[in-house]
C-alpha cells in the first residue's frame, strides 16, 4: 500500500515566512490572494508541532534581520507580492516606499534556510544567513 501525502512542507514553510515577516510591519497587503490561500491551506495541514518548529525558525531569523535593517519596520506599510520562481519556490517580496525585501525560504527541518535581499534605489544588501 502506498502512503499518499497531500501536504507540502516547503509551501507551508513559505506561508510561515510570509506570515511572520509581514507581522513586523504596520500593514501588509498581499496582491496574490490565490497563492496566499494555497499556502495557508498547506500550513493548516501540518501537524501542530511542525507548525511551531517552522514559526520558531522564521521568528529567530526575522528578529536578527530586523535589528540589522536601516528602517523602522513597525512604522512601515508594505505591499506583498508572492511569486513562484523557476525552482517552484515562492519568492516573497515586501515593497516599501524606498526599498524592497526579497525572501526565499528553503525548508529542511531544523536546518532550514532563509535568504533575504534588502534593495534600495542606491544599493542592494544581502541578508543571507542560515535560519
Tell me the pLDDT band of 88, cut-offs 50, 70 and 90. Answer: confident
Tell me the pLDDT band of 71, cut-offs 50, 70 and 90. Answer: confident
Query: Average pLDDT, stretch 63-89?
Result: 89
2 domain residue, yes or no: no
Task: Please state the pTM of the whole predicted model.
Answer: 0.86
pLDDT tens by residue, 21-50: 999 999 999 989 999 999 999 999 999 999
Total domains in the fold of the chain: 1
**Which of 3-17, 40-54, 78-92, 108-122 is modeled with the greatest confidence?**
40-54
HEC states along 53-110?
HHHHHHHHHHHHHHHHCCCCHHHCEEEEEEEECCCCCEEEEEECCCEEEEEEEECECE
Residue 23: partners with Cβ closer than 8 Å, 6 or more residues away: none
Report in angstroms the alpha-carbon separations of 33 from 21, 50, 96: 17, 24, 19
37 domain residue, yes or no: yes
33 domain residue, yes or no: yes
1 domain residue, yes or no: no
Amino acid at each position: 500500500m502506498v502512503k499518499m501525502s497531500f501536504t507540502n512542507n516547503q509551501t507551508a514553510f513559505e506561508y510561515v515566512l510570509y506570515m511572520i515577516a509581514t507581522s513586523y510591519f504596520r500593514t501588509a497587503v498581499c496582491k496574490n490572494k490565490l497563492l496566499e490561500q494555497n499556502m495557508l491551506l498547506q500550513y493548516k495541514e501540518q501537524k501542530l508541532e511542525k507548525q511551531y518548529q517552522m514559526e520558531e525558525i522564521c521568528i529567530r531569523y526575522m528578529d536578527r534581520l530586523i535589528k540589522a535593517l536601516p528602517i523602522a519596520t513597525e512604522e512601515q506599510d508594505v505591499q506583498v507580492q508572492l511569486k513562484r520562481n523557476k525552482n517552484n519556490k515562492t519568492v516573497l517580496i515586501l515593497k516599501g516606499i524606498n526599498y524592497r525585501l526579497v525572501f526565499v525560504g528553503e525548508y529542511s527541518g531544523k536546518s532550514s534556510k532563509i535568504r533575504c535581499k534588502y534593495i534600495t534605489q542606491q544599493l542592494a544588501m544581502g541578508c543571507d544567513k542560515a535560519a
